[in-house]
Amino acid sequence: MCALDKEIRKLNIHEVGGLSDILDYNNDWQILMDIIPADLNSENPLDKKYTWEDVMLIENEARRVDGKSCTKILLEEWGTSGKVRPRLSTLRELLIKVQLFRAAEYVSELLKVPYPERPSDSSAAKVSAPDVDQLPLIPIVPTPQPEYHAPIQMPIVLPPSVYSTSNNEEQDPVQDQSTQPIITVPHDTSSKKPEFMNFPYSTLANVTNNFSIIVGEGACGTVYSGKFYSDVEKKVAVKRLDKQGMNTGLKKGQFQNEITTFSKLNHPNLINLLGFSCDGEFLCLIYPYMKNGSLCDNLAVKTKSLHWKSRLDIALGIANGIGYLHESELIHRDIKTANVLLDDRLLPKLSDFGLVRLSVSETGRTIMTNTVVGTECYMPSEAFNGEISEKMDVFGYGVILLELLTGLPPYNEHIQTSLADFIIEIDSNSSSEGTIDSLIDKTAGDWGGDWETGVSNPVYQLALNCLEDNKNNRPDMKSIIERLENIKKYTVR
């Protein structure tokens, strides 16, 4: 299977938008919808998935949500229904079949495969452009251009809201701010000043021995260990954004958003921010050093496996951290094992708050954004369309539960599929629970008993609930915490 041949439900907002621009014209989406088979393995042309009543439902939904594309609604419904999920290659075949060649060519570009051959004697034939030498000459009159003046580089000062607890954000904190210069922070003597400090970059170079000891690397940059000395030695982790991150508004927005978020939060299952630096060559964030590293790294080490009781405690701690964020009307947007750090007592700490977004849970609405961010194998289908809600954190948490249960990585490079898709496919096709039971990580111990009496089955069922395609069917974090606490009370001896 081609790595680019992803499921329809995982198309991002821009890819769906491109298809919508093509198929919404002349209502071509209806032609596609008419030939979608009920079973992707069926060759019976009469075995159709949708009726004209379904077409009317889509049109009514588009009218109800003013301006929403009918193509987008169709792709959302088709992409998340059925045991076998349609992929780009399936879509391309259907588009060719009904001679919607412009859309088929667009999908071919996404798959990086040759365009389908068009017929030469129908309306779908390619139109030849006239020879450029035969076109009449049209004089071009140059348009006067205004004199260019370079922008004045003024420092950006974090607003007073950095030190307040108001939640009045309107824009996505990770939207492109590439025109902004580097951020500076004022010296504020007000009583609302956060406890973390603004360190000179030169100080961080000293405490990290000139950034020589790497303890982690990620998309934003590199994490180094360092030591502060006062009465006692204090070990810290310094996350330094790479130069590419320095030059993009996305990373600057994440940097500023992380500082702003930490000024409002305090919970034992969230990492503490000790300080930051923004006066030097790189933007930096300073945290306490977590002796046991990330949960992702711990699960990857099979020679020293985490015991199942520790895993259950970690799962509950993560849930408490996410629940606290949601109670604070915030959405993390990048819940994954790489963003869970473990201290010397294996207490989990959620980290990386650069993508955190204000929630609108009190209104029951979903936030829409043009900036699709996150880690693909932890993202639900609606996130690829730019939909943000607390339920996307719940989906990511469901993947973490699967990792804790199986010890498997979140994405399998060999079969090119995510852990969630892999498990869900096995679960839907398996006639025996023993198939899933065989995937449980036995290096963690006996899980409190067998599949019927132990911890693994109820935790697995909870994970499946968190991974529901329809976000409205996923539990909220409060009920997840209650279920985990009941599992511990009933099963842990």
220, pLDDT greater than 80:
no
Residues linked to residue 301 through DSSP beta bridges, in sequence order: none
What is the rounded CA–CA span in Å between residue 422 and residue 384? 19
What local confidence, expressed as pLDDT, does residue 358 receive? 65
Q: Rounded mean pLDDT of 44-55?
A: 80
Residues linked to residue 236 through DSSP beta bridges, in sequence order: 226, 288
362, pLDDT greater than 50:
no
What local confidence, expressed as pLDDT, does residue 216 receive? 81
With cut-offs at 50, 70 and 90, classify the pLDDT of residue 66.
Answer: low
- Angle between helix axes 88-97 and 101-111 (nearest 10 degrees) is 160
* Residues whose CB falls within 8 Å of the CB of residue 13, separated by 6 or more in sequence, listed in order: 370, 372, 384, 385, 386
Pairing of strands 411-412, 387-388: unpaired
**Exposure string for 27-65, b = 16+ CB within 10 A, e = fewer:** ebbbbbbbebbeebeeeeeeeebbeeebbeebeeebeee
DSSP 270: B
Q: Rounded mean pLDDT of 137-155?
A: 41
| 39 counts as catalytic | no
CB count within 10 Å of CB 205 equals 20
- pTM to 2 decimal places: 0.65
- Contact (CB, 8 A) for 321 and 350: yes
HSE, CB side, 13 Å, CA atoms: give it for residue 78.
Answer: 32
Q: Which of 130-134, 227-231, 310-314 has the highest mean pLDDT?
A: 310-314
Q: Which of 293-307, 342-356, 387-401, 477-491 has the highest mean pLDDT?
A: 387-401
- Angle between helix axes 456-466 and 308-327 (nearest 10 degrees) is 30
Q: Which helix (DSSP H) or strand (DSSP E) does residue 88 occupy? A: helix 88-97
Distance from CA of residue 123 to its chain's centroid? 42
- Residue of 28, 172, 334, 352 with catalytic role: 334
What local confidence, expressed as pLDDT, does residue 181 receive? 32
Q: Rounded mean pLDDT of 402-408?
A: 95
What local confidence, expressed as pLDDT, does residue 152 receive? 32
pLDDT tens sequence across 281-299:
888 889 999 989 899 989 9
Which region, left, alpha or beta, applies to residue 22 given φ > 0 means left and ψ of -120 to 50 means alpha?
alpha
317, pLDDT greater than 90:
yes
Specify the 3-state DSSP secondary structure of 276. Answer: strand
- Residue-range domains of the chain with CATH: 8-116 (1.10.533.10), 156-288 (3.30.200.20), 295-491 (1.10.510.10)
Q: Which of 16-20, 89-93, 278-282 has the highest mean pLDDT?
A: 89-93
- Range of lowest pLDDT (30-34, 307-311, 352-356): 352-356
- Contact (CB, 8 A) for 21 and 70: no
Can you give the C-alpha Rg of the chain in angstroms? 26
What local confidence, expressed as pLDDT, does residue 361 receive? 47
Q: Burial, 118: exposed, middle or buried (Cβ in 10 Å; 0-12, 13-18, 19+)?
A: middle
- Mean pLDDT, the chain, rounded, equals 78
Percentage, residues of the chain above pLDDT 90: 31
Which amino acid appears at position 83 of this protein? K
- Range of lowest pLDDT (39-43, 95-99, 133-137, 144-148): 144-148
What local confidence, expressed as pLDDT, does residue 455 receive? 92
DSSP 226: E
